[in-house]
Amino acid sequence: MSGEIINKLENVTINDKADKGDVDDDFVDPWTVVSKSETGIDYDKLIKKFGSSKIDQELLDRFEKVTGKKVHHFLRRGIVFSHRDMHSILNQVEAGKPFYLYTGRGPSSHSMHIGHLVPFILCKWLQDVFNVPLVIQMTDDEKFMWKDLKMEEAQKMTMENVKDIIAIGFDVEKTFIFSDLTYIGQCPEFYQNMVKIQKCVTFNQVKGIFGFDDSSVIGKVAFPSVQATPALSTSFPHIFKGKKVPCLIPCAIDQDPYFRMTRDVTPRLGFKKPALLHSTFFPALQGAQTKMSASDSNTTIYLNDTPKQLKNKVNKHAFSGGQSTVEEHRRVGGNCDVDIAYQYLTFFLEDDDRLEQIRKDYTSGALLTGELKKILIDTLTPIVTRHQERRAKITDEVLKQFMTPRKLAFDV
């Protein structure tokens, strides 16, 4: 892609610089994230570019008022930082009306990494707090088209990733997980909604939103309609019985282009626009300017890593915001804005007071880089170990339960 990508959906003009070498701006699309700063993406600028709304204290206060519970630390700390129409979902709750959650995963490796947990941890919390159903789309069709994968390999990765997702602790009575390569062929309602969406979006529009060109295979051009379709509740007749129920989509901000398109189409099909919650990106171990790579296992921590592998990765590869010598670090202090051990703790250390004390101690120089890395290792190791224990208990029968189209414990 080159030049500017212009998106005029929802009366917003988005100028995405597709030249990834541009020195003045970050680049974000559903497949590529490039930051020009060692502190990572400028999310305030991204909010303006995408035309979403920043999650402010007023929304957090309303969250707590409506739910009667303290908001998740992802929301408190700005890890979930942006939204579209979240107030409309809270209006639904206050009126005693239903909504449902939809998120997804594109299986590109046999094991997910800890960053992949973020939207699912958020969905688990939302599911528990609001007592609502969740549909999880496994886009194995997308990975087959974008990656050099055989279809059988994409399907195998899907099953392995679904085990990781189930291990997070979702309620089988309220969660439906489906593979595009199998479910769409089983459900005429899903396919019919997909075709309706396809009829509403022109090739020029998807070119403008996603940067497709004349050399793009037609499967890629059509795929955005596949990702849009779960936002229509009638795509799941076994759950919603043909009724139109509003949808909330927690996702990373790079997926927003799909749902800008979706929000443009849904009113034309008689549905409410889906609401969204956007999360920040999880950085590679080597820092915010480094791309995670499936070909280099040292760029992240995988959910199947052993405690020894986890410890070695953090100690050897986690980018440090500390100084070059102990003496200088004691005098100057460390930089939490670029230190990966601290950044990872903001995601996985739930204790606000302890995190703040760590920030103060590292910034002042009282806490050394090695000590900070040890705190991260001690925090992540039990999380990954418990995940592996839960995953080991997931049988083919459990997998089948989650992935079988069925009525959920939910009344519309």
Examine the fold and report which residue of 285, 310, 336 is the final residue of a domain before the chain moves on.
285
Same domain, 45 and 111: yes
Question: Does the residue 240 lie in any domain?
Answer: yes
Distance between CA atoms of residues 320 and 334, nearest Å: 8
Same domain, 245 and 369: no
**110: domain range?**
4-285
CATH number at residue 21: 3.40.50.620
Same domain, 327 and 218: no
Tokens representing residue 296 in the block: 């280099």
What is this structure's pTM? 0.90
Q: Give residue 287's Cα distance to chain centre.
A: 19
Task: State the maximum Cα–Cα separation within the chain, in Å, rounded to a whole number.
Answer: 68
Distance between CA atoms of residues 324 and 175, nearest Å: 49
Rounding to the nearest 10 degrees, give the CA dihedral for residues 234, 239, 245, 247: -90
pLDDT on residue 298: 85
Same domain, 176 and 213: yes
Same domain, 85 and 36: yes
Same domain, 94 and 217: yes
Same domain, 271 and 327: no
- Which residues have a Cβ under 8 Å from the Cβ of 120 and sit 6 or more positions away? 103, 105, 165, 168, 170
Question: Does the residue 408 lie in any domain?
Answer: no
Question: Does the residue 254 lie in any domain?
Answer: yes
Same domain, 249 and 301: no
Helix, strand, coil share (%) of the chain residues, nearest 5: 50, 15, 35
pLDDT on residue 22: 45
The identity of residue 168, as a single letter, is I
Rounding to the nearest 10 degrees, give the CA dihedral for residues 227, 232, 238, 244: 170
- pLDDT tens track of the chain, all 412 residues? 233 222 333 433 333 333 344 445 766 656 566 666 666 778 888 888 888 999 999 999 999 999 999 999 999 999 999 999 999 999 999 999 999 999 999 998 888 999 999 999 999 999 999 999 999 999 999 999 998 889 999 999 999 999 999 999 999 999 999 999 999 999 999 999 999 999 999 999 999 999 899 999 999 999 999 999 999 999 999 999 999 999 999 999 889 999 999 999 999 999 999 999 999 989 989 886 665 666 578 889 999 999 999 999 999 999 999 999 999 999 999 999 999 999 999 999 999 999 999 999 999 999 999 999 999 999 999 999 999 999 999 999 999 999 999 999 887 7
Give burial (CB, 10 Å; 0-12/13-18/19+) of 395.
exposed
